[in-house]
Amino acid sequence: MEQGPEFSWVAVILDIAEAVSGALDRSGNERGLSAGELGQLDQFQRAEIEARNLLVRSRSFCTNGNADPLREQLRRCAEATQAGRPLVDLLEMRSTVPRDWHHLPPDIETMLWLGITRLAEDLALIAAIGVSSTTRQKQLAAVRDL
């Protein structure tokens, strides 16, 4: 029996780290990156590696101690983000995120909030274009409550 894709809090963080890395990579291809953005790209790519390493354990048993390497890498990402670009700009979420949150550091809680917010936006778009089902509407309501 084939198992579906993994989904956990680590998977949400991995998704955001990949999105940030992808946005920086695209910017680099279009216009080049500043030294701060290069450092930010490097740190988020390292965060992807830490999240992938933790992803295997995150579905069965994951404690704060297990998450220490990822938490430390996110601290480095926060330092790099100070010299780089805000996450809300890279993720194109400026209109979704309250203004006073635009410069929040990429810690576990912020990364989870950004990931869940992106999911809610995606579900809202699906619901808005008319291909939604009752199940999808319930999913959207549940994610918004979260």
CA angle 113, 50, 101 (to 5 degrees): 25
The tokens of 19 are what? 């999105």
Please give the residue that has the higher pLDDT: either 125 or 75: 75
What is the model's pLDDT at position 45? 97
Per-residue DSSP letter, 31: H
Separation between Cα atoms, residue 18 and residue 48, nearest integer Å: 6
Report yes or no: 70 and 112 within 8 Å, Cβ to Cβ: no
> CA-CA distances (angstroms) from residue 35 to 41, 44, 76, 92, 115?
10, 14, 15, 21, 27
The tokens of 72 are what? 């430390």
Residue 6 confidence (pLDDT) above 80 = no
* Tally of CA atoms within 13 A in the half-sphere of 61 that contains its CB: 1
What is the model's pLDDT at position 41? 97
Work out the average pLDDT over 107-125: 85
What is the model's pLDDT at position 4? 40
Q: Which sequence spans correspond to the domains of the chain? A: 9-145
Separation between Cα atoms, residue 110 and residue 64, nearest integer Å: 16
Work out the average pLDDT over 2-19: 77
Tens-digit pLDDT profile for residues 25-41: 999 999 999 999 999 99
Please give the residue that has the higher pLDDT: either 109 or 128: 109
Residue 3's pLDDT band, with cuts at 50, 70 and 90, is very low
Task: Burial-class residue 53 by CB neighbours within 10 Å (0-12, 13-18, 19+).
Answer: middle
Residue 62 confidence (pLDDT) above 60 = no
